[in-house]
Chains A and B, each alone.
Chain A
């Protein structure tokens, strides 16, 4: 998949809302991610960040428009959006515990066809070299090639986080939405994680990052959105956003910036 030129629009939502009963968890949100950008989405607990990711990746019903890579996707089921190149990770990782790390990545990297299913019954191990190359590449970018044969239950929580990113990466996505990938990492681990994110960006893949680790978000993001109660309260470059009065009041506080 050739990466689109930097600066073109990749993902945009217009008036996107997610309503649970009477609660507007995401309220009329316009968000834009350009190709090659690392965009951060921050906000206090319960601001609707995870719900936003669930909405664009197709796991909760949404109102409003969602465009991705020039196509309207708000009606597409989750697996179709993934195949279009909209990958996501989960806060609780959700690795496939019965498959090895490599097999976890293979699930995402390979596409199934009806003919493929019938062939699978007689000749299971066939797959194109490109698929293996994608998996090897994803393992390599994240530096976890040596974990390929291990089971997800045998590796550390930090390694599991990388595998969950790797699973998304192996599908050669255009955009990865990451839901609190750095939660639970210490400062040095978090910095290392930030460097790996930049390496992913260098491959022409965009990232939408939701995280609480302000150090990470402010350091690596090109552009930030701040939301509260499902609605946008500020956006801009990290330096601009941190200077924003409303943001300071709502979320960052003096302590986080100190």
Chain B
């Protein structure tokens, strides 16, 4: 596998087009000023740094770290807090003394008793000046890189791509959650860099401030430095050798593990450094902007084949600079698409998606693969058992309905309803990722498309109640199939990247579009009175009182429950059917599946369609359930969070989706924690992030899978004890009733090791 980019005619055409585009931008003065703006350069520099960090860790350990934008943000927060207050903030950790306090409070009857808490920050003696703050922040970056390597990605070295993606999403959520917990979402002021000013420097074609010029030069120097390091030193040679073959590095006298650690440190330091400087240039910092830059950054890295630092930086600058240019075009050009008298939002977000699709289409199958990268196996997907279909499912459903209607308080009813809608989204992920192994990070985009369709049809077109649900789900299916088409040639992390970019585009172009979200008036979905969540009606059926005259209406919950029950059985049936077997065959081995007569492409499109359909039903239910459809329910990061909880619950089974639903934000689990120990809502993300990392590292089968394998192991032990007492030579029991240890619970034996092809 050659790492040297081969020049093809298609690439040549593309290069000519890019060069021509740049020429036009340079020649037309107003275009030049808006494209090569100071802000554009600074943004480009940050995107480039995040992308360089991505490339370094990819080359060093084969991980595409989707949290790298969040790393820049986190480093900048550490620095900003040191500069303005001289504090080093501490991640919120569970207070080990809290349960004691809780018990004493319970006995006392009041809350006066108090034990020491974890500090929220370490006071380092007042605001710091630039250099010590920078030095300390960089020390933090180094330690953070080491931690990421040691605690998260080293244990995942041989894990499937899915687990690595999941872990990086976990890190992303965790970093964001910590910052939001400590600083809330308000922008923080960041002090300027002392040795450069906001004085403008004329460079002939364009003018930048000293600060902006400084970060641009710094990124260019770092790019050249990384190139030299990787191409011209023994260290770089060893990293390149290790990427092809871990033995190669060992022969050169380097430990592959230390090399990976070094690249993690290098990556977090480069990323953190630019995060700090660009935040200083912009004078402000918030927890959302930088993590989202992962999308242009990963696009740039893709352009550079996750290998070339030069191309990555070049593409990153273009992707950063187009943002202000697109904004300029939107305001000044009459041909720019308009919506409601305003320029169409989110076009700058569309650019990375277009580039991603173009790169993936041009390169097709020759996407980055690493010599040592093990394909790995996804968690075991069990066949639903007869007793769970016949007994456990109905009992659970009836219990939930009974509790929801007669027992639960309004807060818990709300929690249970959130759990139910969460289960639907998790089920959509089970079908696509659990059964077919395709990673989609855009499930809430499908759900949102459906929800806004429902709102429009039910409130503006007068469609009667159940019909809009189907229409919404069909819209979602169309979107799903559209996403599936590129997915036919793209696998693993590249698919995750493409779907993530798709989610961002839908979020910014469609949901943020006032023609869709109803602008000031909002978008509403009018459910029938019977299941309207705001209805306080009390019904009497056969002398039994239903409803207690408070909101939310318990029948809303019953409606959600009915949908969940139907979809759970649909997904369980799918797993037991030929289609399900074909999906699992595709997931296990696409080539072997094709050789067995499975139409792999059709299976994938089908899975995307069905998954989007289920997510669409989920979106429609969310719309009817809450009455008003707001874009914030369907933002791209919600897709990440749902993916996290689906994985946490167990991504390969219906029971996993049920557990995932219990865990989602606002769901029954958090309602309970909130009610019992007063756990604030911000912790949802925090626990989600930590849980996701732990699950990816230690327990890839999720909560449901873990419980299942533990129960099976226990039953097997009982069986063994019984057998040893009776007859040693007993024939093996019938295979279908035999307890089966999930394959992934077994040590990875020869079975998963592909033989070397001649």
Q: Considering the complex, which residues of chain B in the window 575-619 have a beta carbon less than 8 Å from any beta carbon of chain A?
A: 575-582, 584-585, 587-589, 591-600, 606
Once the chains are docked, how many angstroms separate the CA of A49 from the CA of B758? 9
Residues of B within 8 A of A91 (CB): 755, 757
Q: Quick one: CB contact mask for B364-384 with A, threshold 8 Å, 1 for yes?
A: 000000000000011011000
| Given known contacts A120-B574, A125-B577, A127-B578, A57 and B595 CB-to-CB distance under 8 angstroms | yes
How many residues of chain B have a CB within 8 Å of chain A? 48
Q: Which of A1-9, A26-34, A107-115, A229-237 contacts B (4 or more CB under 8 A)?
A: A107-115
Q: Which of B199-207, B296-304, B511-519, B738-746 forms part of the interface with chain A?
A: B738-746
Q: Restricting to A58-103, which residues have a CB under 8 Å from any CB of B? A: 58-59, 77-79, 82-83, 87-88, 90-92, 94-100, 102-103
- A45 CA / B585 CA spacing, docked (Å): 30
Verify B751–A97 contact, CB threshold 8 A. yes
**Whole-angstrom distance between the alpha carbons of A99 and B577 in the complex?**
12
Q: How distant is A90 from chain B, measured CB to nearest CB, in Å? A: 6
Q: Look across to chain A and name the residue whose beta carbon is closest to the beta carbon of B752.
A: A97
B380 touches A46 (CB 8 A): no
The contact of B596 among A116, A122, A124, A171, by CB within 8 Å, is A171
Query: Smallest distance from the beta carbon of B102 to chain A beta carbons, Å?
Result: 44
Question: In the complex, which of the residues B378, B584, B589, B746 contacts A153, with contact meaning CB atoms closer than 8 Å?
Answer: B746
B597–A82 CB distance below 8 A: yes
Q: Is B194 an interface residue (CB 8 A)?
A: no
Q: Is the CB of A124 within 8 A of B574?
A: yes
A247 to B136 alpha-carbon distance, docked (Å): 72
Are B584's CB and A96's CB within 8 A? yes
Of the four ranges (under 10, 10 to 19, 20 to 34, 35 or more), the interface on chain A belongs to 35 or more
**Of all chain A residues, which has the CB nearest B591?**
A59
Residues A79 and B597 in contact, CB atoms below 8 Å apart: yes
Instruction: Give Cα distance in the complex from A125 to B581, angstroms.
Output: 12
B589 to A148, Cβ gap below 8 A? no
Partner-B contacts on A (CB < 8 A): 45-46, 49-50, 57-59, 77-79, 82-83, 87-88, 90-92, 94-100, 102-104, 106-108, 110-112, 116-117, 120-125, 127, 146-154, 157, 160, 167-168, 171
A-B contact pairs, 6 of them (CB 8 A): A58-B594, A82-B595, A94-B589, A98-B587, A99-B581, A121-B574
B380's nearest neighbour on chain A, judged by CB, is A98
Q: What A residues does B595 contact at CB under 8 A?
A: 57, 59, 78-79, 82, 87-88, 90, 94, 168
Most interface-central of B581, B589, B597, B755 (chain A CB within 10 A) = B597
Contact of B570 (CB < 8 Å), options: A79, A103, A121, A152: A121
Contact of B588 among A96, A147, A148 (CB under 8 A): A96
9 closest A-B pairs (Cβ-Cβ)?
A149-B735, A120-B577, A124-B577, A94-B592, A108-B596, A82-B597, A78-B594, A124-B576, A153-B743
B653–chain A nearest beta-carbon distance, Å: 11
Chain B residues positioned under 8 Å from A122 (CB to CB): 570, 573
Query: CA of A107 to CA of B580 in the docked complex: distance in angstroms?
Result: 9
Residues of B within 8 A of A96 (CB): 581, 584-585, 588-589, 592-593
B580 and A124 within 8 A (CB):
yes
A100→B736 CA distance, assembly (Å):
9
Chain A's nearest CB lies how many Å from the CB of B681?
36
